[in-house]
Amino acid sequence: MKKDAVIIGIAGASGSGKTLVARNLCQAFRTSEVAIIQEDAYYKDLAHMSLEERARVNFDHPDAFDHNFLREQISTLKSGMPIENPEYDYAAHTRKPGGKTVHPSDILILEGILILAIPELRELMDIKIFIDTDPDVCLIRRVRRDTEERGRSLESVLRQYEETVRPMYLQFVEPSKRYADIIIPRGGKNVIAIDIVKSKIEKLLAG
């Protein structure tokens, strides 16, 4: 990644469509120009805890993430060096051994629920985006994702949503919308808003 690389932050509720927006932006540029870093990969490793203890952790609170490590890795990419991006096991709540190599690029997309709520991350971003999607749509998407892709039961997904996801959204995620440069309703399906972001990225890349 060059020093003038464009860093884009994409925040919003779980299930709001952040990943789809990130993918749509990637499609507008060559793969070698874009790297995506997901906040979810930086959950703290809970291997030292029992499975029952891990299940009781509030994974929607800022303390559940190692944001210092995330910031360090972004700084490493900015300096022109590759990183070993951690991978997380959502079913076991632990980090997988090893990681995925991410190389420096002209565009770095940082995506996650809380990235706009963390001042140290916000200050690194050139463009701050908040995906504003109806809560009922977010819940439906989360249920499908967690049951089909992350090995969760429907009961556990709904309990977590009620006990932590929604309260933490109201406390941390939704208020971070005030820091956004662009608010995108309807997520990745908002073609006009995404085209505006693409144009801005192109201008920043051109200097």
CB 61 within 8 A of CB 168: yes
73: domain range? 6-200
Instruction: Evaluate whether residue 207 is within a structural domain.
Output: no
Query: Tell me, what's the pLDDT at 191?
Result: 87
Residue 187 tokens read as 């997520």
CATH code of the domain containing 130? 3.40.50.300
Instruction: Evaluate whether residue 135 is within a structural domain.
Output: yes
Q: How far apart are CA 102 and CA 80, in angstroms?
A: 11
Instruction: Evaluate whether residue 98 is within a structural domain.
Output: yes
Name the nearest CA neighbour of 61 among 180, 170, 177, 179: 170
Instruction: Evaluate whether residue 1 is within a structural domain.
Output: no
Instruction: Evaluate whether residue 154 is within a structural domain.
Output: yes
Going residue by residue through the chain (207 aa), what tens digit of pLDDT does each one get?
455 678 999 999 988 999 889 988 888 887 668 899 999 999 998 989 898 888 889 999 999 999 999 999 999 998 889 999 999 988 788 888 888 999 999 999 999 999 999 999 999 999 999 999 998 999 999 899 889 888 888 998 899 899 999 999 999 999 999 999 999 998 778 889 989 999 988 888 887
Query: Per the structure, how many domains does the chain have?
Result: 1
Query: Tell me, what's the pLDDT at 70?
Result: 97
